[in-house]
Amino acid sequence: MTKANNALLIGDFAPLHLGHLADINDASKLANTLHIVITASAGIATPSGRTPNLSDVARWVQVACQHFAFVRVHTVASLGLSSVDFDYRSSRHANHSIDAICQALQLDDVIIASKHPLSQSTYPTAIIAATLDDGLMIQTNPLMNFDRLAPACRYFYTQTVCIVGGESSGKTTLIHKLANHYGATVALEMGRLYTHSHLGGTELGLQYSDYLPIAINHAKAITEATAAATAPITLVDTDFATTQAFCEVYENRTHPVVASLADNFRLDFTIYLDNNVTWVADGMRRLGDTKARSHFAQTLLDILARHDIRHHVIDDDNYHARYQQAVLWIDTHILGKMPTYSTRHPKDATL
């Protein structure tokens, strides 16, 4: 079978999923050069409110196809065709749009590889076999179909869930319980890691200049965790507001870089753990007495409000009940799932 010079695959690719990648693999056999044209996104917003734009989708397709020298990626905007109305699920305006795209690309010898009925097209066609129903299901609810998303776009759809609270409030233990429950990646608390790697394991030598590398390392850790996301949520142990709270309590001043990160490096959801559990000394913490813990907690709440960081409060004094409440809240408010078990406090349970 002789290949055509060019093949054309058109779609919105939001979110890019494994069915799309299979389409690209199949379409590549049709011609020497495969032109992928990304139309205006029909993708719905994530629970946190992010909606993919053309540049987002172009990045995903480019990353997925970067090892294919025979693939050329375009957007309707890059072709000067932002007004093109193309829906690959119907034949409405399809022929007119394809003509405009082929003219913009200066393509004569082209075969159309797309998933819509092109019965009246003047171009040779090859209908890709991927089912529309699967693609529509993934587009409608990408989080519930996270394992079917292309790796290149998972960072965009995973929802960052940050756990904050005062010292010895159970943040890290809860983070790892949730990671086990959801199979999620974790961005660890950088202040704790930095204390061990640079300060000898205690906060004795901590000073104002340390807050900059702690915050920068935390931003990097969050980026890496979301880039490697394995689940619809990515967990973050503390945030920049917490780092700022330590700076204000220990150094009596605000760090401008940490403040900027709190404003501009936003996490999707925040859970605040009340400081009503027993203090556990670990050889590093300094805020063990009730007055100091209360002062830090109030400072953190003030900073959250200052940066307009909304948060869900968990105030049960039982660790396992906190875990159950966190799962219930994530399932219902982020993943849109119905609760699957009781969250009664263990002390209320009967044998």
Question: Which domains does the chain possess?
Answer: 4-144 (3.40.50.620), 158-334 (3.40.50.300)
pLDDT of residue 304: 97
In this model, does residue 122 exceed pLDDT 70? Answer: no
pLDDT of residue 111: 83
Query: With bands split at pLDDT 50, 70 and 90, how would you rate the model's confidence at 345?
Result: very low
**What is residue 17's three-state secondary structure?**
strand
140 alpha-carbon distance from chain centroid: 16
Closest CA to 178 of 335, 7, 347, 20: 335
pLDDT tens-place string over residues 6-19: 988 888 899 999 99
Cβ–Cβ under 8 Å, residues 24 and 158: no
| Distance in angstroms (rounded) separating the CA atoms of residues 194 and 187 | 14
In this model, does residue 348 exceed pLDDT 60? Answer: no
pLDDT of residue 118: 47
pLDDT of residue 42: 66
Q: Which residues contact 306 (CB under 8 A, 6 or more apart)?
A: none
pLDDT tens-place string over residues 144-158: 999 999 999 999 999
pLDDT tens-place string over residues 40-89: 776 789 999 999 999 999 999 999 999 999 999 999 999 998 766 665 55
pLDDT of residue 130: 47
In this model, does residue 238 exceed pLDDT 50? Answer: yes
Q: Which range has the worst mean pLDDT, 44-48, 119-123, 306-310? A: 119-123
Terminal-residue alpha carbon distance, the chain? 72
| Distance in angstroms (rounded) separating the CA atoms of residues 262 and 256 | 10
206, HSE (Cβ side, Cα atoms, 13 Å)? 25
Q: Which residues contact 341 (CB under 8 A, 6 or more apart)?
A: 324
pLDDT of residue 317: 85
Query: With bands split at pLDDT 50, 70 and 90, how would you rate the model's confidence at 119?
Result: very low
pLDDT of residue 142: 94
Share of the chain above pLDDT 90, in %: 58
Q: Chain-wide mean pLDDT for the chain? A: 85
pLDDT of residue 252: 96
pLDDT of residue 275: 82
Cis (ω within 30 of 0) for the bond into 346?
A: no
pLDDT of residue 220: 97
More confident residue, 311 or 23: 311
Class of residue 256 by CB neighbours under 10 A (exposed 0-12, middle 13-18, buried 19+): exposed
pLDDT of residue 351: 26
More confident residue, 161 or 293: 161
In this model, does residue 94 exceed pLDDT 60? Answer: no
Closest CA to 14 of 222, 157, 191: 157
Beta-sheet pairing, 233-237 with 159-165: parallel
| Distance in angstroms (rounded) separating the CA atoms of residues 29 and 340 | 46
pLDDT of residue 280: 59
* Overall pTM surpassing 0.95 (yes/no): no
pLDDT of residue 347: 38
pLDDT tens-place string over residues 284-304: 555 556 688 889 999 999 999
